[in-house]
Amino acid sequence: MINLETPKKYRGFVKQVNEVATNFLRANSRTYDLAEHSYPKELDLLASLVDGMNESGQSKGAGAAGVRVKDDDKGGVKNGTNMSSVLSVIEMCWGDVGLLLSMPRQGLGNSAIASVANDEQLERFKDTWAAMAITEPSFGSDSAAIKTTAVKDGDEYILNGEKIFVTSGERADSVVVWATLDKSKGRAAIKSFVVPKSLPGIRVERLEHKLGIRASDTAVIVLEDCRVPAANLLGDPEIDTSKGFAGAMATFDNTRPLVAGMAVGCARAALELTRDLFTDAGIEIDYDRPAQSQSAAAATFLQMEADWEAAHLLTLSAAWMADNRKPNSLEASMAKAKAGRVGNQITLRCVELASTLGYSEVEFLEKWSRDSKILDIFEGTQQIQQLIVARRVLGLTSSQLK
């Protein structure tokens, strides 16, 4: 039986992360939202603190780099690195989504490495800050349409292609690049490579200006005859058509609950501030009375809280399943779809409920509504998540249900 209360062993850790989010992220949130593309230097100190916690064992697997299912299964129900990482991300994004995405060595590429790398690669890349590059100019959600090529040449692969919307693409030390080994073999030939940015042939073409998460840099990256060591191909280099796209897509089973956690944290921040504004305005929210007998504002708030709770529990459930070695592809997509949608709806509705305060920069509500939009888009859009859920529920393949 799944208990979706915060595990007792993580409660002190969650409190510590919340303090970090308050003193580091929330405190600098507006500064770096207004100074797009400026590097948040305060994060260097925070990264040093996280590194110290990791070395001492106090971090409980916090952050993107901790998401990994290990082979130390001793039986019984456990809460491991997936759960602690999601709990950490929720608190950090309660502070600021863009700054969380700017954290050194906590990029989505680090989650990809932790999810599919072998033990040797995990050790070799443990200190890198990795961005993740999937999307290309010719496609958005259909990762199987990748055109970037990787051609084997001795002990190296030669990569050619262009990647867009790469989070932390400029600041990261390396980029996890998705490329195809053989276009004729379809999805099964798509592999991911750790490409250090120090290599010749990889360059940042430009940075994007964005609606939200402005503290985080988003880059266009070009690869031209970039030679990457063969040992940097993550996981199995063999093309197994029987497994199809499963190997590469396994990354998303771990990263989608993280993105759902980002939406849950951001939406919680909006709900808490809106409740405080209601209290100041004399608007009462009574949990002992039916919604229809309360003010429209209170009734709306109760509905938002119910939607938030559903997203929160789905997110924890997907993380718990990963920790307990249960297939969670369906649940990861359900969590991402629910949290992405209601997170965006909640932040926008809080802007409306707060009226002029919500629309102005006096409060963070307008910022959170901008930041939350991306959480319904990247790591698989709302529409793609619904498609994946439908396929899983109906037992249909991608060719049967498009």
Q: Which of the residues are catalytic?
A: 379
Phi and psi torsions of 124, nearest 5°: -70, -35
Residue 72's CB: how many other CB atoms inside 10 A? 7
Cα separation of 140 and 132, whole Å? 14
Nearest Cα to Cα of residue 233 among 319, 125, 137: 125
**Which residues face 150 on adjacent strands?**
159
Contacts of 249 (CB under 8 A, 6+ apart): 143, 329
Q: Is 40 left (phi over 0), alpha (psi -120 to 50) or beta?
A: beta
Question: Residue 37: how many CA atoms within 13 Å on its side-chain side?
Answer: 8
Report the Cα 48 to chain-centroid distance in Å: 21
Contact 89, 262 (CB under 8 A): yes
Q: Rounded to whole angstroms, how far apart are CA atoms 148 and 159?
A: 7
SS3 of 115, please? helix
β pairing state of 149-153 and 156-167? antiparallel
Residue 342, CA distances (Å) to 213, 310, 369 in order = 18, 9, 11
User: Cα separation of 332 and 387, whole Å?
Assistant: 13
